[in-house]
Structure 1
């Protein structure tokens, strides 16, 4: 078997992925060269530069100055061919769906060759069907990022998985899962800043649902300068971010943004986007926040900015294909999707491809629209909710697009959408939480169907509501 990848030439440079320069003895052999990698009885012909830039194993090999760095053929005796083939597919930008045997071999390869992109892909594939296998296998091979991510997923679904966990996993793995904090359903009202005679809302608290006591409790107060009205609100790495928005009854654009850390229960100010904006989307993926579209001075924008958490800097990214404000959007499998309407019957779904900094048209939905919709991602499915039938905004129809098969399907029946509850949907494991003033409703996603699971206390606040998940330490919840 021969597998060929494509990488651009580097003008003779032998710099590594992190800007490190390789030893002179390896330099000439890296540029525009092929390497044959023998795994078992299978021969793979691949670009050396792709392997060196993507795998710590090959990077270390070509920095070492050992005789192997001059060879045109490398033997990997500790791996199986299928795992290496999966790694190559991921390195080329593919996102293969893996069965159980594939998962084991892919984890083995990711651990041995230290392929970061393959580890990230495996994390994106964690679900209720494979999480125990992922967790146990990652522990066996020491792939710690996947180990931790799978443990967090299991913790979020522990009530459903506890019997299987205790029956199949070693006690130390069970203990680690039980030591983690589960995700908690959170909500904050769309409030503006307080001040003078222009105060619109007095309640400015971030709250969480105590599912055991079936009541809402206050987590923290918003900073005085923060507004959640028409702002971007998201969670990344268990930190809450509020970016932009408006304040006052005249809806002045905010120039301040904030981050809440649960670890020290405090807010900090962060830099805001270069372009003031409100009614925009804010999504957190892979160490970056993306502020997408929105408005400024009543002008709808297509601009997109990305905030690097490590550097604290915003940079402009590829513009949306056309201006959009308050667009339906979601994140699933570390991928960002946005719905753009073409009145009156067409919705186009675009994906932001961060590696290429471009927006790619994924699919088009042609359905009767009325007052609006939202989008929710679960596994490799994207669900589109729209009001209907006709102009009935108290009910929703739902369509599902499968990213792997590229097929649309419609979910049977109508879904109650009293006061926009479905438009607050948040996914935790295989559950979807929705919210309005009277009810918090949890659905179970089975296949492509949403089935009501339990009903809990609603969020007693007026106006629009932002919902999300945070992991709250047990000690913190006991204090509250």
Structure 2
């Protein structure tokens, strides 16, 4: 009887373990289905055409696109920022008018709603998230009627629901990158610029750091492998488009040329998801590519539904 009992106990234990594993597998798959990692692309315009408000999302797991509710205001050359599992559409251009109007998208409701406006109207600005705040710096503004580059910066807190003015950058920049890394903000390049400066939120001061190896306007930039990656861009307007990438090491304060893109690109976005580097957009090449760390090559994943210039692109993850 004892042998039979032991055998029965083992069989029950095995069944319970298998049931647990199976249940965990189902739960994990359901979590992915309910909370997928998605790349969003909104707004933009076509040459000599109107601005657009269309929005689409790309499910990385299923490799499928789906349209979502359009922006409340058509806009281009704006910032789309992922923050607290929501998307913020900030500033930009609408029918040649600069915007200070912002809106936020909640994926749980599928709706856009208006939120606090910027202090300064701007388009072509840089934006990123640091210390639970959204930072926006530079861009161009028609405040003086000439659409000149500006150096002003501001930050948004969801706790106060307000924007706060910050110390301006040392130089005015537009179509640059703004990247948060290791507690600082880095303003990188811009129209006809290769200079870089770093903002310390503790002191509210900007400090110059090593310059890029070349001028980059409308590049893609992101933190990857603990370095700041910057790819593509042009020197001015559509002049001298680049296919090069470089990485900044904060320890050595140096930029190093690294991988190349498969073609010259500008108006592109670099995104990181689950340790993988993605490229989205690119003027006249609205595609999404995945970088292979081993081969150092880019592989096309999908074509973006809308071939628009000046789109806002961001990623929401399940983690």
- Structure 1 length-normalised TM: 0.52
In angstroms, what is the RMSD of aligned CA positions? 3.5
| Counterpart among 197, 202, 205 of residue 358 in structure 1 | 205
Deviation at 1:218, TM superposition (A): 0.6
**Does the alignment pair 1:190 with 2:35?**
no
**Does the alignment pair 1:443 with 2:291?**
yes
2:266 is paired with a residue whose SS is helix
1:468 aligns with 314
1:200 aligns with 50
**Does the alignment pair 1:210 with 2:56?**
no
Greater share of residues in helix:
1
**Does the alignment pair 1:267 with 2:121?**
no
RCO comparison, higher one (Cα < 8 Å, 6+)? 2
Deviation at 1:171, TM superposition (A): 10
Counterpart contact for 1:214–1:457, Cα < 8 Å: no
Deviation at 1:283, TM superposition (A): 1.8
Gaps of 5+ in 1: 1-169, 193-197, 474-480
CA distance in structure 1 between the aligned counterparts of 2:86 and 2:245, rounded to whole angstroms: 31
1:456 aligns with 302
Counterpart contact for 1:440–1:459, Cα < 8 Å: no
Counterpart contact for 1:426–1:432, Cα < 8 Å: yes
Task: Provide closer, same or farther for how the CA distance between residues 378 and 332 of structure 1 changes in structure 2, counting only shifts above 3 A.
Answer: farther
| Counterpart among 209, 228, 233 of residue 80 in structure 2 | 233
Counterpart contact for 2:196–2:209, Cα < 8 Å: yes
1:59-458 map, 5 Å: 179=31, 181-191=35-45, 200-201=50-51, 203-211=52-60, 214-223=63-72, 226-248=73-95, 251-297=96-142, 298-333=147-182, 335-340=184-189, 347-367=194-214, 369=215, 373-386=219-232, 393=241, 395-411=242-258, 414-417=260-263, 420=266, 423-436=268-281, 437=285, 439-445=287-293, 450-453=296-299, 455-458=301-304
Counterpart contact for 1:191–1:204, Cα < 8 Å: no
1:289 is paired with a residue whose SS is strand
Deviation at 1:316, TM superposition (A): 0.7
Deviation at 1:453, TM superposition (A): 4.5
Deviation at 1:340, TM superposition (A): 3.8
| Cα displacement string for residues 78-122 of structure 1 (whole angstroms, at most 9, x for unaligned residues) | xxxxxxxxxxxxxxxxxxxxxxxxxxxxxxxxxxxxxxxxxxxxx
Deviation at 1:175, TM superposition (A): 8.4
2:194 is paired with a residue whose SS is strand
Counterpart contact for 1:443–1:454, Cα < 8 Å: no
1:365 is paired with a residue whose SS is coil
1:347 is paired with a residue whose SS is coil
Task: Provide closer, same or farther for how the CA distance between residues 399 and 255 of structure 1 changes in structure 2, counting only shifts above 3 A.
Answer: closer
Deviation at 1:355, TM superposition (A): 1.8
Task: Provide closer, same or farther for how the CA distance between residues 333 and 468 of structure 1 changes in structure 2, counting only shifts above 3 A.
Answer: farther
Gaps of 5+ in 2: 1-20
Greater share of residues in strand:
2
| Cα displacement string for residues 49-83 of structure 1 (whole angstroms, at most 9, x for unaligned residues) | xxxxxxxxxxxxxxxxxxxxxxxxxxxxxxxxxxx
CA distance in structure 2 between the aligned counterparts of 1:356 and 1:348, rounded to whole angstroms: 21
| Cα displacement string for residues 387-423 of structure 1 (whole angstroms, at most 9, x for unaligned residues) | 69xx763x511221222343433225x42235537x2
CA distance in structure 2 between the aligned counterparts of 1:292 and 1:171, rounded to whole angstroms: 49
Q: How many residues align?
A: 285
